[in-house]
């Protein structure tokens, strides 16, 4: 994002209102923080003014008892101001963290409900940045952004009012260098803003790169690409460093400039007050001492918020940029539709694809006018070369993607009319690439669903003949699986996925059979598990093995998203068509 667009965001009142609408349930906290900001602004100039009165009226006249009283009052005001400031800081920080907690839940809930096409097009690291880093920046809108800026402005206005009320000429003299400070503040704000945008983009790039390469570390190491990828990482990391250094340089210049302006203001104040006091009658000249002391304190109180207000503007601005990114995720309409209300306890399992067209992008169709029917209890094998559309068919049936044209029906009801949870409860899925999470075998099978008991898991494992295998693992069902199932073989991971599917007793089984890369013992277990899973269920199987093809009631032969042939194994071989040549080249050795 360019700095120009970034500059506009802070004045995007619609976006700002939307950010603050997140705090609507905590309106009382917002009002409390604003009330405390007003009280702090009113209290800020009181102590310097009391010091002026003490010097002019009591110290000069030797009224020590009044000096003690005023000092005690000052001490009391200091305690009250400190208490108010604590509550103000705590309230704004509490508000920010509470909003962030709720927002992060909303964003994560939205992300897990997005269509898979969004994950195909968006790096996981980018979504991670949106869910964690960007949302944390929204917190700063509350804790260090708008409300603290309002508090600082109120304090500045309150101090300026008292300064001009006490002595407007002295106020004008001491504030003479302020135009230089305003110019320096503007330059600083713009410079840091550009750097912050670069930092934010660099963080997103780092997250995406690291996430992608840690996930694919096996590929990197297998092809000895460590050095090349490391060079890429160094370039991204260097950009992150340079962006931060630019911001640090701006801070390194700005703060000394503020100190110089404060010193010049103080010098002008002392010079004018001293020279002016010599021209006044002794009584009035003596009063100038109290004014000079109070004005030095006023200037220090005035410069305290001015030192950080530009930084807070940048925090607010970056929070707004981050919130816009977060809202883009929340506003994404490409999510899984769940408005269907049909939720039967059980389906017979009849599947119909009626003139189905589907494209992952625009009109680059990967499935073209598909028409076929699977009767309840039938096993249908999908065969074809890579890219023929086999995986797309099973993804559409489970509503992981939306079709472009046509309709898909289960028991005569379009899948869009099913409640999503009910549809997926009826369709068990076993994918070729089994993903396992960190945790025990039991937790990976149940996906931490408290409604599924250990006894149910063991019963399902026994039904497909893999209970003994799981018990043979160290710790049995409590065996700890590393991230992505790194401590288990491909076949072992596949077996766990079968139990996952069986636990919900689905009427329809979607099976991406993958036994070509597993050891013989695992293959035998998997074949047995497949037979037990398929028995009595409607099954759509992506066939990788000849044994599955032969046992299928029907084979659908796909080529470039179109159906070339449908029939049994023997029927298709007799036709001497596309399946026959595919069988000879791909399956004959199976």
The per-residue DSSP string of 534-570 comes to HTTSEEEEE--SHHHHHH-SEEEEEETTEEEEEE-HH
Task: Please report the pLDDT score of residue 315 as a whole number.
Answer: 78
Which distant-in-sequence residues (6+ apart) come within 8 Å of 96 by Cβ? 138, 139, 140, 141, 142, 143
Q: Any long-range contacts for 233-239 (C-beta under 8 Å, 24+ apart)?
A: 233/209, 236/202, 236/205, 236/206, 236/209, 237/206, 239/198, 239/202, 239/205
Is the predicted pLDDT of residue 5 greater than 50, yes or no?
no
Q: What is the mean pLDDT of the chain?
A: 81
- Is residue 460 domain-resident? no
pLDDT tens, position by position, 383-442 = 888 778 888 888 888 888 888 899 999 999 998 888 888 888 888 887 777 777 777 888
| Whether residue 192 is found in the same domain as residue 301 | yes
Task: Please report the pLDDT score of residue 375 as a whole number.
Answer: 92
- Is residue 420 domain-resident? yes
* Domain closes at, from 295, 330, 365: 330
The total domain count for the chain is 2
- Is residue 453 domain-resident? no
Task: Please report the pLDDT score of residue 590 as a whole number.
Answer: 47
| Whether residue 177 is found in the same domain as residue 279 | yes
CA atoms within a 13 Å half-sphere pointing along the CA-CB vector of 518: 23
Is the predicted pLDDT of residue 37 greater than 80, yes or no?
yes
- Is residue 214 domain-resident? yes
Is the predicted pLDDT of residue 126 greater than 70, yes or no?
no
| Whether residue 39 is found in the same domain as residue 104 | yes
CB atoms within 10 A of CB 428: 24
The arithmetic mean of pLDDT across residues 228-237, rounded, is 87
Is the predicted pLDDT of residue 318 greater than 80, yes or no?
no
- Is residue 488 domain-resident? no
Is the predicted pLDDT of residue 10 greater than 50, yes or no?
no
Is the predicted pLDDT of residue 367 greater than 70, yes or no?
yes
Task: Please report the pLDDT score of residue 410 as a whole number.
Answer: 92
| Whether residue 326 is found in the same domain as residue 357 | no
pLDDT tens, position by position, 325-354 = 888 878 777 666 656 788 888 899 899 999
Please state, in angstroms and rounded to a whole number, the distance separating the CA atoms of residues 587 and 479. Answer: 37
| Whether residue 194 is found in the same domain as residue 305 | yes
Q: What is the pTM of this model?
A: 0.66
| Whether residue 399 is found in the same domain as residue 322 | no
The arithmetic mean of pLDDT across residues 271-287, rounded, is 69
| Whether residue 386 is found in the same domain as residue 531 | yes
| Whether residue 55 is found in the same domain as residue 181 | yes
- Is residue 365 domain-resident? yes
| Whether residue 248 is found in the same domain as residue 379 | no
| Whether residue 99 is found in the same domain as residue 149 | yes
- Is residue 151 domain-resident? yes
Q: pLDDT band at residue 8, thresholds of 50, 70 and 90?
A: very low
Task: Please report the pLDDT score of residue 484 as a whole number.
Answer: 59
Q: pLDDT band at residue 3, thresholds of 50, 70 and 90?
A: very low
| Whether residue 287 is found in the same domain as residue 357 | no
Please indicate whether residue 285 or residue 239 has the higher confidence score (pLDDT). 239
Is the predicted pLDDT of residue 249 greater than 80, yes or no?
yes
Q: If you count DSSP H runs as helices and E runs as strands, how many of each does the chain have, helices first?
A: 24, 12
| Whether residue 259 is found in the same domain as residue 382 | no
The residue segments making up the domain with residue 559 are 351-434+507-587
CATH number at 409 reads: 3.40.50.300
Residue burial 555-588, b: 16+ Cβ < 10 Å; e: rest: bbbbbebebbbbbebeebeeeeebbeebbeeebe
CATH number at 61 reads: 1.20.1560.10
- Is residue 308 domain-resident? yes
Task: Please report the pLDDT score of residue 137 as a whole number.
Answer: 77
Work out the percent of the chain whose per-residue pLDDT is above 90: 14
Residue 367: its H or E element? strand 365-374
**CA torsion 149→152→158→160, rounded to 10°?**
-100
Strands 379-384 and 554-559: parallel
Helix, strand or coil, per DSSP, at residue 478: helix
pLDDT tens, position by position, 83-122 = 999 999 999 889 888 888 888 888 888 777 776 666 656 6
pLDDT tens, position by position, 176-188 = 988 888 888 888 8
């Amino acid at each position: 994002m360019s700095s120009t667009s970034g500059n506009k965001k802070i004045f995007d009142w619609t976006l700002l209102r939307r950010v603050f609408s997140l705090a609507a349930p905590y309106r009382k906290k917002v009002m409390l923080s604003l009330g405390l900001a007003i009280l702090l602004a009113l209290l800020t100039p009181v102590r310097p003014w009391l010091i002026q009165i003490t010097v002019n009226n009591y110290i000069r006249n030797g009224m020590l008892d009044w000096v003690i009283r005023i000092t005690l009052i000052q001490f009391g005001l200091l305690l009250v101001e400190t208490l108010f400031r604590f509550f103000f800081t705590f309230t704004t920080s509490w508000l920010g963290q509470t909003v962030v907690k709720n927002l992060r839940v909303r964003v994560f809930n939205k992300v897990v409900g997005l269509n898979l096409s969004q994950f195909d097009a968006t790096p996981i690291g980018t979504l991670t940045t949106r869910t964690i880093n960007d949302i944390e920046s929204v917190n700063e809108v509350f804790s260090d952004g708008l409300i603290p800026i309002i508090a600082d402005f109120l304090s500045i206005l309150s101090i300026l009012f008292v300064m001009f009320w006490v002595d407007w000429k002295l106020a004008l003299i001491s504030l003479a260098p302020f135009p230089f400070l305003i110019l320096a503040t503007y330059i600083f704000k713009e410079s840091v803003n550009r750097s912050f945008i670069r930092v934010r983009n660099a963080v997103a790039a780092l997250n995406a790169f690291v996430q992608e390469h840690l996930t694919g570390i096996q590929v990197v190491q297998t092809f000895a690409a460590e050095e090349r990828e490391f060079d890429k990482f160094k370039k991204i990391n260097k950009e992150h460093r340079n962006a931060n250094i630019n911001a640090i340089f701006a801070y390194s210049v700005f703060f000394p400039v503020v100190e110089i302006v404060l010193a010049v203001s103080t010098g002008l104040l002392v010079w004018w007050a001293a020279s002016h006091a010599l021209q006044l009658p002794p009584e009035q000249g003596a009063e100038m001492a109290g004014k000079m002391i109070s004005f030095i304190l006023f200037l220090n109180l005035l410069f305290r918020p001015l030192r950080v207000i530009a930084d807070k503007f940048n925090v607010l601005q970056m929070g707004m940029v981050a919130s816009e990114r977060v809202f883009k995720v929340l506003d994404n309409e490409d999510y899984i539709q769940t408005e269907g209300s049909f939720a039967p306890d059980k389906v017979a399992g009849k599947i119909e694809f009626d003139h189905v067209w589907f494209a992952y992008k625009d009109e680059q169709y990967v499935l073209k006018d598909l028409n076929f029917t699977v009767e309840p209890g039938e096993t249908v094998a999908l065969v074809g070369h890579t890219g023929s559309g086999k995986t797309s068919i099973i993804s559409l049936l489970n509503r992981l993607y939306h079709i472009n044209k046509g309709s898909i029906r289960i028991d005569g009801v379009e899948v869009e009319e099913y409640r999503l949870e009910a549809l997926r409860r009826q369709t068990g899925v076993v994918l070729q690439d089994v993903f396992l999470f960190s945790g025990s075998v039991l937790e990976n099978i149940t996906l931490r669903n408290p409604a599924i008991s250990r006894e149910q898991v063991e019963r399902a494992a026994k039904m497909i003949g893999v209970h003994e295998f799981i018990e043979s693992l160290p710790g049995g069902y409590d065996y700890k699986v590393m991230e992505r199932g790194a401590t288990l073989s491909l076949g072992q991971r596949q077996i766990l996925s079968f139990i996952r599917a069986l636990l919900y007793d689905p009427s329809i089984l979607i099976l991406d059979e993958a036994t070509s890369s597993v050891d013989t013992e695992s293959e035998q277990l998997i074949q047995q598990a497949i037979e037990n899973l398929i028995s009595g269920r409607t099954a759509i199987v992506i066939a990788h093995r000849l044994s599955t093809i032969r046992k299928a009631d029907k084979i659908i032969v796909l080529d470039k998203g179109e159906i070339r042939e449908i029939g049994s194994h023997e029927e298709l071989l007799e036709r001497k068509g596309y399946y026959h040549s595919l069988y000879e080249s791909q399956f004959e050795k199976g």
